[in-house]
Homo-oligomer: A and B are copies of this chain.
Amino acid sequence: MATVLITSGPTREFLDPVRFLSNASSGRMGRALAEAFCTAGHRVIVVSGPVAIDYPPQAEIVSVVTTEEMLKACQSIFPDCDGVIGAAAPCDFRPEQMATRKIVKSGTPLTLRLVETPDILASLGMMKRHQWIVGFALETHNARQHALEKIQKKRCDLMVVNRPSAIGSDCSSVEVLDSEGTCLAEWTGTKTDIALRLRELIEQKLLKLSNSVGGG
């Protein structure tokens, strides 16, 4: 059986002690994946941003808030894993500076300079030896082209492409691309369904488990 790192949920990047940038990721895809892999007897470590859901009790949970914290946790855990599934939606911009006091409204516009946060999967891609990497790409347009760029940048073995409608929802509609950008599968269903099919595909293609049933 394999040791699988799953990133899950959003991260937050603070402007001041109260306000932050984030997204509506609920952690439900990460939870569904954790359940699918735990059920099959794999060891699962979830690095999760702030979520209001519960992960399966068999999974080991590392809780983080910011993208930098998620990166550090993943970098420390990844070397001992067989692979990583990047189901989190890390906040990919952060305010260049965080105010130590709550910003007081003055009636005039506020100019905020945002810088990019580190790309977690790309960082793990740089560290990768025997490990496989499965990414998620959320795209609103030019999905295939952006996904292919991300596959290369993050050195992904598989990339799951979805749409903003998946965020916070119980259902999703995804395409799974291989490292060349070839579409291996298209699935629509609950996140539980998609997680099970993705586990089967990973077991077949990446873990090379012969007793796997179903799959892409």
Query: Which A residues are within 8 Å of any B CB, using their own CB?
Result: 12, 15-24, 50, 52-53, 89, 91-93, 96, 101-105, 107, 109-116, 138-141, 146, 164, 167
Q: Which residue of B lies closest to A50 (CB)?
A: B24
Q: Is the CB of B146 within 8 A of A17?
A: no
Complex CA–CA separation, A96 to B20 (angstroms): 16
Within the complex, what minimum Cβ distance (angstroms) separates A131 from chain B? 24
In the complex, which residues of chain B have a beta carbon less than 8 angstroms from the beta carbon of A167? 18
In the complex, which residues of chain B have a beta carbon less than 8 angstroms from the beta carbon of A113? 109-112
In the complex, which residues of chain B have a beta carbon less than 8 angstroms from the beta carbon of A112? 111-114
* Known contacts A24-B50, A138-B102; A109/B96 CB under 8 A: yes
In the complex, which residues of chain B have a beta carbon less than 8 angstroms from the beta carbon of A18? 23-24, 89, 138, 140, 164, 167
In the complex, which residues of chain B have a beta carbon less than 8 angstroms from the beta carbon of A116? 105, 107, 109
Complex CA–CA separation, A91 to B141 (angstroms): 28
Q: Per DSSP, are chain A's interface residues mostly helix, strand or loop, or mixed?
A: loop
Query: Can you name 18 A-B pairs with beta carbons within 8 Å?
Result: A17-B164, A19-B23, A19-B93, A20-B21, A20-B23, A21-B21, A22-B22, A92-B105, A93-B103, A93-B110, A107-B116, A109-B116, A110-B115, A111-B111, A111-B112, A111-B113, A112-B112, A112-B113
Complex CA–CA separation, A113 to B15 (angstroms): 13
User: Which residue in B16, B24, B114 is a CB contact (below 8 Å) of A20?
Assistant: B24
Q: Which residue of B lies closest to A107 (CB)?
A: B116
In the complex, which residues of chain B have a beta carbon less than 8 angstroms from the beta carbon of A138? 18, 102
* Known contacts A114-B109, A115-B109; A101/B23 CB under 8 A: no
| Inter-chain pairs besides A18-B167, A110-B114, 10 sampled, C-beta below 8 Å | A16-B140, A19-B91, A52-B53, A102-B164, A104-B146, A109-B113, A109-B116, A110-B113, A111-B113, A112-B113
